[in-house]
Amino acid sequence: DIVMTQSPLSLPVTPGEPASISCRSSQSLLHSNGYKYLEWYLQKAGQSPQLLIYLGSTRASGVPDRFSGSGSGTDFTLRISNVEAEDVGVYYCMQALQSPTTFGQGTKLEIK
Amino acid sequence: EVQLVQSGAEVKKPGESLNISCKGSGYYFISYWIAWVRQMPGKGPEWMGIIYPGDSDTRYSPSFQGQVTISADESTSTAYLQWSSLKASDSAMYFCARTKTYDSGVTGFDYWGQGTLVTVSS
């Protein structure tokens, strides 16, 4: 299985400041079609996860442009340009290249 | 409006069987994969398996192979997750989610069900 490792696991952020979460995969997530099969999700308390980013850097429909994704074959980053109170929750990276699909451990973003 | 609506919370005893459901609406059900995801209390999501309702192609995580059965009924746009003999360790929240694959990529799990809480206790 592909192992997904996130850091940090806890991220206190002041509103209006930027935030960044790292995700590393144990194998390259670069598909033969040239796309990186890495997704980012946010799970708010008591809710289902919601898709933020797919194919490494494509924002899902309705996701604010303060969220951006980037990365190489094994190292990926989710950036939030100006954190808002509504961004609180646990962020997960997930690889969709190989079955079984695997998730990172999660990064809990909280407001300072 | 796209929706995935899951069946309600269940309380079961060890050894009992269980079938939970995920009904899709607002989109062409057979054109999207439906995955099942387990989330144990305080833990991250775990991908259990996935089914393509169009041809019933089903894949399982090795961790869940033989422990559960995933199926889908095209006529009712419903996917199912089934246990034949529950264990206390099956207590968790279960989510369904849809995704679509193309030659040029995947869409991500863009819609999720609201979750079904399963409690297994004697």
pLDDT truncated to tens, each residue of chain A (112 aa)? 999 999 999 999 999 999 999 999 999 999 999 999 999 999 999 999 999 999 999 999 999 999 999 999 999 999 999 999 999 999 999 999 999 999 999 999 999 9
Nearest to B109 among A51, A61, A102 (CB): A51
Alpha-carbon gap: A17 to the closest alpha carbon of chain B (Å): 26
Could you report the per-residue pLDDT of B62-109, keeping only the tens digit for each? 999 999 999 999 999 999 999 999 999 999 999 999 998 887 788 899
Instruction: Give the residue from chain B lying closest to A100, CA to CA.
Output: B61
User: Sign of dihedral through CA atoms A95, A96, A102, A105?
Assistant: positive
Residue written as tokens 């997530």? A29
CB contact under 8 A, A49 and B63: no
**Which residues have a Cβ under 8 Å from the Cβ of A16 and sit 6 or more positions away?**
A82, A83
B interface mutation test: which of A101, A102, A103 has the most B CBs within 10 A?
A101
Contact indicator for A4, A23 with CB cutoff of 8 Å = yes
What's the angle, vertex CA B93, arms to CA B52 and CA B6, rounded to 5? 50
DSSP run (H or E) holding B24: strand B18-25
**Structure-token pair, residue B112:** 């999720």
B interface mutation test: which of A2, A33, A43, A48 has the most B CBs within 10 A?
A48
